[in-house]
Amino acid sequence: MYAGRGETESSDGSAPNCPALKKTVGEVESLLQVGLVQGTLRYALANQEHQFFVKDGDIAEGYIFSRSILPYVSESDATAGDTIARNMDFGFVSKPVQDGAMAVFNAFATALPGMGVDCASVGRAGGMDVCSVGTRSDADRRTVVSALSTLLVSLASCYAIL
């Protein structure tokens, strides 16, 4: 609420510090973008499960979040912007998030550096991490490795019994 106030007001009557104000505005702008990215990713995950003709409020909310951040994404990476626009489009005649949430995560991973947004600030959602270019998190990998190990031990035990 008070960010930039010191740059616009001076107690001694001197001119505002415009370069400092511009820097503060840029920092606040990138922080505001984080929430829009997070919202879009949340609804990409939720909406990828829907089929055609579903009337769910999540589809509209995902559309709104994505359209709020889309100009920044498209300016950074036009292809990433197209991917997000296509997958988060609002309509009842196509499957929501048709390329899957991973495509939306990958698009953001490509665009975030050019947007000036730190991927670590975005964090993880649904076990997916934008910093790892939409790959599964380490915890998810450990779960898969553990399950595969259990399966292999079970198969070896069955083979030994036979």
pLDDT digits (tens, 9 = 90+) for 51-70: 777 777 888 899 999 999 99
Closest CA to 105 of 35, 28, 42: 42
Which residues, including other chains, have CB under 8 Å from residue 15's CB and lie 6 or more apart?
Answer: none
Which residues, including other chains, have CB under 8 Å from residue 124's CB and lie 6 or more apart?
Answer: 130, 137
Average pLDDT over residues 12-32: 76
- Helical segments of the chain, H only: 5-8, 18-47, 57-76, 78-87, 101-115, 119-122, 138-161
- DSSP, collapsed to helix, strand or coil, labels residue 133 as coil
Residue type, 98: Q
Distance (Å, whole) CA 156 – CA 162: 10
pLDDT in tens, 71-115: 999 999 999 999 999 999 987 677 899 999 999 999 999 999 999
